Chains A and B, each alone.
Chain A
Amino acid sequence: MSKYLITIGLETHVQLKTNTKMFCGCGIAVLDREPNTNVCPVCLGYPGALPVMNREAVKLTVMSGLMLGCEINHVSTFDRKNYFYPDMSKDYQITQQAKPLCQGGGVTIQTPAGPKRVRINHIHLEEDAAKINHYARFSGVDFNRCGTPLMEIVSEPDLSSPDEAMAYLLALKQILVYAGVSDCNLEEGNLRCDVNISVRPEGQAQLGTRAEIKNMNTFKGIYAALEYEIARQLATVARGGVIVQETRRWEPDLGETQSMRSKENAHDYRYLPEPDLVPVALAPEQVAAWRAALPEMPAARRERMMAEYGIPEYDAGVLADARENADFFEAAARLCGQGKTVSNWFMTEIMRLLSETGKTITECPLTPAALAELVVLVDTRVINGPTAKELLPELFREGGMPDALVRARGLGQVSDTSALEGFVEQALAANAKSVEDFRAGKKAAAGFLVGQVMKLSKGKADPQLVGKLVAEKLAGLA
């Protein structure tokens, strides 16, 4: 059997982070909102209602395009895509067919064979559909979601495995979250995918007939659907069958894709330039201003953080991966001027707490200022390391500032020589054996004695000072 090549292209629908819908002032509904509460004549397709374009949605789409290296079209237009379905209140969807906002661009992903460029065909702006709820004997429509701004990123068919598709989606998600254009929250349906898949024998230039799987909203589902669909197409071809161009649906419970048996003329969309929306003509200065306001991309940020804070490449990479972590780190590092120490805290203690609680750094009460203060308190020897380590989980869960806690609880370390000398006397007297051992040349015995002093001070002694005092005392005895 000859070898087959797999070709995958993705259409990714991303819900933009706007306050209002695409063409009306209705707020964006959260998932559990009562049905039909975020509606008005415009998003309900009432007679006479007219769409007016949300400026922010255009801006966020252009920013995404700039982040993804797209060309921004100077003139961009909107079209009506005509199809009758109860989830589209006007029975046409306003979208961009002829002149989308962004064209070209791409995303680089890492593959076992090295970096790979996945090209983007275009990015356009459109409106989301309503939600249809299905019951035993009827269905019901809720238009809360209808008209929510959606940005559709259409890739070229450059992907050749489910792993690559995942890498592409994760890269896309990272960039979009970084740019603040979308939360890309999959549970909320912020990111949904249509995938196109085809197989062809190696050596054949022309792509095979493709099947499209519609509307998937979990990465796991997309991966499983791709795996299933590839296997299905390969098996079909292997037994001499023919792949039909069709739309299929992923059935997660069954773990398979199913044909949607769509009507033959379902794709005669009769596109019509939208007469109610005038073109968007972006001045080069406007685009330049948005470009200047773009956030730094993860790779660039990693390099800069290495140079600026002297942290290791690995740490910088991990921190840069999620914008909120990098933002937190940098804020704390700038406050205390000790990037390396902040990074150490973040990479060990904070990461552990984050994974234990399943939260993101922005969701917990710990502030960059609190972490910076903690670092300063250790550095200026107000508290010692172990105390700081004890305080951090509390700051992480409850918030507050460490200095106040230290004062309130008297946790400041004891750096008073006369106070510590008493503990040293006490420790040496109680551990004559260790003193003997030291004299006999067992230098490690000194460490044990320091530990005893720390214990007597209830952990509050300045360990460095204790070490010095113990060493002096032992030297004096010798």
Chain B
Amino acid sequence: MSHTIDVAYVAELARLELSPDEKRTFQQQLETIVRYVEKIGELDLTGIEPTLHGQSLVNVFREDVVVPSLDRERFLANAPERNGSEFKLPKIVEDA
């Protein structure tokens, strides 16, 4: 496994603008951590099923019955910026 993390690429994926200092620090720290977690590579995992949930459970459903929505003002009050009853954004010129 590679120990070089392209921190700039990963930070872009995670939408985190990092300062050059942060980039350097994270680079070094993350490589240390990643080197540590790679110890799981030692194990033979043939035939082992992954655990994807906190408890094994299947078929949890909700019935298709309408529950009244909450008053939108409660949500819009939390909006950093709003346009009437919409959440306002800078103009979107292209699809990211």
Contact = CB atoms under 8 A, between A and B. Distances in A.
A56 B64 contact: yes
Interface in A245-284: 249, 260-263, 265-266, 268, 270, 273, 275, 277-281
Interface stretch (B20-28, B37-45, B54-62): B54-62
Interface in B50-96: 52-54, 57-67, 69-70, 72, 75-76, 83-92, 94-96
A58 interface: yes
Nearest to A51: B62
A44 interface: yes
B87 A84 contact: no
Nearest to A133: B86
B9 interface: yes
B17 interface: no
Task: Summarize B's interface: helix, strand, loop or mixed.
Answer: loop
A19 B68 CA distance: 12
Nearest to A26: B69
A97 interface: no
Interface residues of A, number: 57
B69 A275 contact: no
B66 A281 contact: no
B66 A26 contact: yes
Given A54-B64, A260-B94, A41 B70 contact: yes
Interface core residue of B66, B87, B94 (most chain A CB under 10 Å): B87
Nearest to A91: B15
A140 interface: yes
Contact of A279 (B15, B58, B88): B58
B61 A53 contact: yes
A35 interface: yes
Contacts of B66: 19-20, 25-27
A285 to B, nearest CB: 13
Contacts of A2: none
Contacts of A57: 64
Given A260-B94, A265-B13, A39 B62 contact: no
Interface in A28-61: 34-41, 44, 46, 52-58
Nearest to A130: B87
Given A58-B61, A139-B90, A36 B52 contact: no
Given A138-B83, A260-B95, A263-B96, A86 B58 contact: no
A407 interface: no
A171 B76 CA distance: 43
Contacts of A277: 60
Nearest to B12: A265
A239 interface: no
A39 B60 contact: no
Contact of B86 (A36, A137, A260, A280): A36
Contacts of B83: 135, 138, 140
A39 B69 contact: yes
Contacts of B60: 52-53, 277-278
Contacts of B87: 36, 86, 140-141, 143
Interface core residue of B58, B88, B95 (most chain A CB under 10 Å): B95
Interface in A419-443: none
Nearest to B64: A56
A278 B58 contact: yes
B92 A281 contact: no
B91 A275 contact: no
A280 B59 contact: yes
Given A18-B64, A134-B92, A138-B88, A280 B58 contact: yes
Interface of B: 9, 12-13, 15, 52-54, 57-67, 69-70, 72, 75-76, 83-92, 94-96
29 contacts: A18-B64, A19-B64, A19-B65, A20-B67, A26-B66, A26-B69, A27-B66, A36-B72, A37-B85, A40-B67, A52-B62, A53-B62, A55-B64, A57-B64, A75-B58, A84-B15, A85-B96, A86-B87, A86-B89, A86-B92, A138-B83, A140-B83, A260-B94, A260-B95, A263-B96, A266-B96, A268-B13, A275-B54, A278-B58
Given A36-B76, A52-B61, A55-B63, 15 more contacts: A20-B64, A20-B65, A26-B69, A27-B69, A57-B64, A84-B96, A86-B87, A138-B90, A139-B88, A140-B89, A142-B86, A143-B87, A262-B95, A275-B54, A280-B59
